[in-house]
Amino acid sequence: MMAYRGKTRLVDGFTTLRATQRHGGERKYSIRSESDDAAKTDKESAASKSGAPQPRKSFGRTVMPTQNEIVCYACGFEFVMRGRAESTQCPKCGARLSLKDETVTGACPDEIITAGKVRLTKSAILDGGQITANDIIVEGTVKSGTLRAYQTLELGPGAAIPEDMIQTKNLRIAAEASFDFARDLEFHDVDVFGELKANLKATGRVVVHAGGHLLGKLESEHLIVEDGAGLNADVIVQAHKDEEEEPDSEDASSEADIRKTA
């Protein structure tokens, strides 16, 4: 057997890749030489010196988890939790708290306890049961039982509820809802989107939103009446007075907050 003594040729990687693309038909690789990189660098440098605007690099937006104010229904401790979950643990007493939102249609169960939200639809009826939640929305009928909202109680159009069953920190009257309460009521914050007639005392702020109407008597530290809202009430707005030091009338009137927003 005779050995082949042809001329030996050195083949580098670049030549091999070119030959592969040429015989393979479709070009699957992008070849960039050092001269290409140098040309690109010179082009960018010239654009920078000319003052031409350079394309901005875009970065993804970081979405912060929502903050939820939670009240432990075991010990009453208030704390803030980020994000959403089905349950959490009270940092004070260690009780396991349900955070599930519940919707009631028809007859209400005997007991609903959650640190989430409970909504009583128009067909819902509470008669002798117990509902405890962070927020409660009432659109149906409440006859008897216990209804306690640690944060906000919202009364919607067509809702029926006895005045003595209202237990909540904040009150919200929904748009197109109308309520007339005879007894004195005290809350922290009050938001009126519909119509409310009552003798109110608020330790926080009262906001009459556009389209809302507030009648009766009001005593509060902060009052906001939006453009398009109605106010027909005896109003007393005064700053909070400390027991140790009571400011004079001029200081009190200057600290009081009465605003009408456009």
* 156 vs 109: which has the higher pLDDT: 156
Binned at pLDDT 50, 70 and 90, residue 194 comes out as: very high
Average pLDDT on 172-194 reads: 96
CA torsion, points 207, 229, 158, 68, in degrees to nearest 10?
-30
Q: Is the Cβ–Cβ distance between 152 and 171 less than 8 Å?
A: yes
For residue 76, pLDDT beyond 60 = yes
Q: What is the DSSP letter of 16?
A: H
**Angstrom distance (rounded) from CA 98 to CA 104:** 17
Other CB atoms closer than 10 Å to residue 98's CB: what's the count?
16
Q: Report pLDDT for 16.
A: 61
Other CB atoms closer than 10 Å to residue 58's CB: what's the count?
6
Other CB atoms closer than 10 Å to residue 133's CB: what's the count?
27
Q: What is the percent of the chain with per-residue pLDDT over 90, rounded to a whole number? A: 61
Window from 1-5, 78-82, 173-177, 217-221 with minimum mean pLDDT: 1-5
Other CB atoms closer than 10 Å to residue 180's CB: what's the count?
11
For residue 46, pLDDT beyond 80 = no
Query: Residue 112: CB partners within 8 Å, gap ≥ 6?
Result: 102, 104, 118, 129, 130, 131, 132, 133
Binned at pLDDT 50, 70 and 90, residue 84 comes out as: confident
Q: Report pLDDT for 252.
A: 43
Q: What is the percent of the chain with per-residue pLDDT over 70, rounded to a whole number? A: 67
Q: Report pLDDT for 68.
A: 87
- Looking at this protein, which amino acid is placed at residue 13? G
* 244 vs 171: which has the higher pLDDT: 171
Signed CA dihedral, 128, 95, 170, 139: sign only: negative
Give me the residues paired with residue 104 across strands. 120
Q: Report pLDDT for 167.
A: 95
Binned at pLDDT 50, 70 and 90, residue 109 comes out as: confident
Average pLDDT on 163-179 reads: 96
**Angstrom distance (rounded) from CA 126 to CA 155:** 14
Window from 99-108, 201-210, 244-253 with minimum mean pLDDT: 244-253
Give me the residues paired with residue 141 across strands. 125, 160
For residue 248, pLDDT beyond 90 = no
* 243 vs 115: which has the higher pLDDT: 115
Q: Is the Cβ–Cβ distance between 133 and 117 less than 8 Å?
A: yes
pTM of the entire predicted model: 0.70
* 171 vs 46: which has the higher pLDDT: 171
Q: Report pLDDT for 149.
A: 97
Concatenate the DSSP letters of all residues of 46-104 into one string: HHHHHTPPPPPPP-PPPPPPPEEEEE-TTT--EEEEES--SEEE-TTT--EEE---EEE
Average pLDDT on 15-33 reads: 55
For residue 154, pLDDT beyond 60 = yes
Q: Report pLDDT for 256.
A: 47
Window from 13-17, 97-101, 218-222 with minimum mean pLDDT: 13-17
Q: Report pLDDT for 112.
A: 96
Burial of 217 (0-12, 13-18, 19+ CB in 10 A): middle
Task: Return the structure tokens found at 4.
Answer: 């082949």
